[in-house]
Structure 1
């Protein structure tokens, strides 16, 4: 059964392109008003106008740098000023870098930890009580297939996504008595701007999916009366993520290191 989100508002971070933009469209298609959050205001406004024109819902763009430590309070204030309360939160904002950790830029690594972990936790904590009390929406945190094993040459990124996966599954258990749907989404290689930020497609493993495919799977899982705490997008990705759990850690590390060292095909 397809869930109708009419009468609710979904906030999506990293909404200016890729998965974030597709999530905004998916929730708008099901009747939800949407709040679009990212740094690029022009892209947000363009998407908001398109969503309002095509789906007849309210789309509110909020230009904000979520890598700032006080982003969660700034976001709450921006919503309060506009008289908006949210029922769904999609924490999609995040980025990765590829290369040996010892050679990585310390400032860039700190920014990644702040955005991928600290800001995600702070934003979730800011709004989760409201989401649980209302119960009509969902919390979706975007992790990655990188969450399932150590990732040499993407050590911090992989570890940050492992945090997101475990954190979100724990929240799903903690909130199981409520009607809020809580889901960790782990996409594999997806055709988005992620690899432009990484700087190379060599970080990609497996076949690329489209944002539409990844979001469609997520929405189908949210349609279940009792959704799983996590989902991996793509059959091959799901199989690999399951198999790695049964490998010795040393073997999983060796395989991951070899795969990430290979050029993307």
Structure 2
């Protein structure tokens, strides 16, 4: 069989770029996407123009790739954006933008590639979610919700498309050392706000976690392993042991005890 054709959304920086660079060395035909590919001059693989918030942009990018390669073997739905803040102080338009980027956009990308995968009688879709999507984290409510929703969409859709030999899985990263902190929306830390002290501390903690996060190459290696797994699992978690263990604790601990543990961590 010829080289697999891989499409990675949000591949101009961060985890997406690390995945693309790694897979580009493994005998795959890698294509990434970016909202502004003309501004990227150091990508070792081609970048297609795609904004996951724009359905026509998605259709155009997928059609361009299919015209060129005639198939798409693997979609890595990686494009996403962070958001932080007290829910009470996050503007509605920023909440909508986050869901458009982290949930509705990935859904539209999947809808765009599925007809081709069904026609070629096979394919793999990997949705990059987040360990934060397994729990409601203070001051990350919108991010947790959008990523958690994508986890559930994946669970449902993978059953719908199994008869067509299309596999879908989630890969949930923990904190990785990327530029996500600079690109995410921060609700302003308002002087005199009821949340000034608690949100200020949490914001500082979140930034420290990202700065001290794992190397994105770890995520790239995990994605490579999933691609080479004949029958992928529903969920994969990639990150520091304690972050992955937090999911186990949520499953086994009573809700209020787990909540207290999180509140202690964030000094609430």
TM-score by length of 1: 0.82
Structure 1 residues 259 and 132, CA gap change in structure 2 (3 angstroms): farther
Preserved CA contact (<8 Å) 1:137 1:180: yes
1:33 equivalenced with 2:42 (yes/no) = no
Using the TM superposition, name which of 138-147 and 192-201 deviates more: 192-201
Partner of 2:235: 230
User: Equivalents in 1 of 2:6, 2:182: separation in Å?
Assistant: 27
Structure 1 or 2, whichever has the larger Rg, is 2
- For normalisation by structure 2, the TM-score amounts to 0.81
Alpha-carbon distance between aligned partners in 2 of 1:201 and 1:172, rounded to the nearest angstrom: 37
Tell me the CA shift for residue 12 of structure 1: 0.5
4+ residue stretches of structure 1 with deviation over 6 A?
none
Decide which of 111, 120, 125 is 2:106's aligned counterpart.
120
CA contact (8 A) 2:249 2:258 kept: no
8 Å Cα contact 1:98/1:203 also seen in 2:
no
In structure 2, the residue matched to 1:248 is 254
**Equivalent pairs, count:** 248
Aligned to 1:55: none
Gaps of 5+ in 1: 51-58
Are 2:71 and 2:120, in contact at CA under 8 Å, matched by a contact in 1? no
CA contact (8 A) 1:87 1:130 kept: no
Contact 2:9 2:79 in 1 (8 A): yes
2:17 to 21, 45, 53: 21
The 3 A distance-change label for structure 1 pair 85 and 221 is: closer
Q: Mark the runs of 5 or more structure 2 residues left unpaired by the alignment.
A: 187-202
What whole-Å deviation, never above 9, does each CA across 1:24-63 have from its counterpart, x for those lacking one? 123322222122111232454420xx3xxxxxxxx43212
Deviates more, 1:90-99 or 1:242-251: 242-251
Alignment partners' CA distance in 2, 1:82 and 1:221 = 25
CA RMSD of aligned residues (A): 2.6
